[in-house]
Amino acid sequence: MASTRLIRSLRRNYPHNLVPHFANPRRIFSPKSPFPATSSNLQTRSYAEIPQSPSPKTPQNPTLPNHIGKNDSSSSSSTEKTPFSSSLNDSEIAKFAAIAETWWDSEGPFKPLHLMNPTRISFIRSTLCRHFRKDPYCARPFEGLKIIDVGCGGGILSEPLARMGATVTGIDAVEKNIKIARLHSGLDPLTSSIEYCCTTAEQLVEEQRKFDAVIALEVIEHVADPSEFCKSLAALTVSHGATIISTINRSIRSYATAIVAAEYILNWLPKGTHEWSSFLTPEELVLILQRASISVQETAGFVYNPLTGRWGLSDDVSVNFIVFGTKNKQ
C-alpha cells in the first residue's frame, strides 16, 4: 500500500517527459525538455569499466593541539572567522564548524563521506584521466595537474588527490576545518605539500587563480546562491579545464533516504545537516553550469549497498549524483 502511494506521488511530482532523466543520467535532456542544452546526448559508457583506485591507508586521527580543542574559545562557532562571499550561507558554516574535529573519525558524523570516498575518487580518476589523456592505472596519474578542492573540509578528498600526484589546493570557509586539514596532511610526506587556505572561491577569483580541475563535492547544497557559486568555479577553471560537482537530487526518494533515514533513523548525520529545498535536480545543475560556460559531459549516480556497506556508481541519480564538465574554450 505504501509503495503504491509512493508511485502515485512520484507520478504527480515528476512529469512523464522527465522520467528518462532518472533512467539514464547521461542522457540528461529529453527531446521535449524545457531546459535548453547544447547537446542532448552525453557520453555513454559502462561504469564497470571505471578503474577502481586503490584504497589509500588513512592515517589515524592526529592528536589535536589545545588551541583546536573543544574547550578552547577558538573552537566555538560564535568566534569562527568567516571569509566574505555572496554565496556563503552562515548557518551552514556554523553547522560544520560545530563538528569540524570529527572529520577524520570514520565512525563519526562524516562516516557517509568516508564510505563514499573510494567511489567518488574512482569517478574523478576516470574522468580526469580521460580528459587530460593520463594513464588511469599508474600510481600518480595526476602528475602535472593543478587541482582545487572547494569546500575541502578536513581534507578527506584533498589527500588522495595529492597522493595521485596532483598539486592540490584545498579551500574552506570554516577556519577550524583548515586547521584540522593542515594538521592531518602533515602526518604523510605525500600530502604535506597541500596548500590549505581559509578562503572562498570568489576570493580566489579576485586573485586570478586558475586550476586545471575544480572539484566541489557535497558543497553546492550548502551555499546560498548556487548560480554565483558555479560562476566562481568556472572562473577558477582554465579554458577547456575540468569541473566536477557532486550533490543530492531534490526528489522524494532523497528526502526519504538522505534526510529521514540518514539523519533521523540511522543517525549517520547530525539532524538538520541538509535542507531538502536546497537540493538541485540534475537538470537544474546542468542548466546552471551551462550558463557559467561549463558543458556537462557525464553524469553518474551513487548507490549504497546495505549488504556490503559500500557505495557504487550507477545510472540511478534519484539521490546522490556527480557531474563532470569542461569549461568552454575562450
Residue 155 lies in a domain: yes
322, 123 contact by CB (below 8 A): yes
Q: Which amino acid is at 243?
A: T
Residue 281 lies in a domain: yes
Q: Which run of H or of E encompasses 231?
A: helix 226-236
Residue 15 lies in a domain: no
Report the CATH number at residue 203: 3.40.50.150
The string of pLDDT tens digits covering residues 275-312 is: 888 899 999 999 999 999 999 999 999 998 989 989 99
- 111: containing domain: 39-53+65-327
Residue 111 lies in a domain: yes
The string of pLDDT tens digits covering residues 154-187 is: 999 999 999 999 999 999 999 999 999 999 999 9
> What radius of gyration, in Å, describes the C-alpha atoms of the chain?
19
Domain count, the chain: 1
Stronger pLDDT, 190 or 65, i.e. the higher one = 190
pLDDT at 96: 61
Indicate the annotated binding residues.
120, 151, 172, 217-218, 221-222
Residue 103 lies in a domain: yes
Residue 290 lies in a domain: yes
pLDDT at 22: 34
Indicate the annotated binding residues for S-adenosyl-L-methionine.
120, 151, 172, 217
pLDDT at 65: 43
Q: Is the pLDDT of residue 17 over 60?
A: no
Exposed, middle or buried: residue 306 (CB in 10 Å: 0-12, 13-18, 19+)? Answer: exposed
The string of pLDDT tens digits covering residues 83-128 is: 555 566 776 677 667 777 889 999 888 888 999 999 999 999 999 9
Could you tell me the pTM of the whole model?
Answer: 0.74
Residue 17 lies in a domain: no
Residue 22 lies in a domain: no
Indicate the annotated binding residues for Mg(2+).
218, 221-222
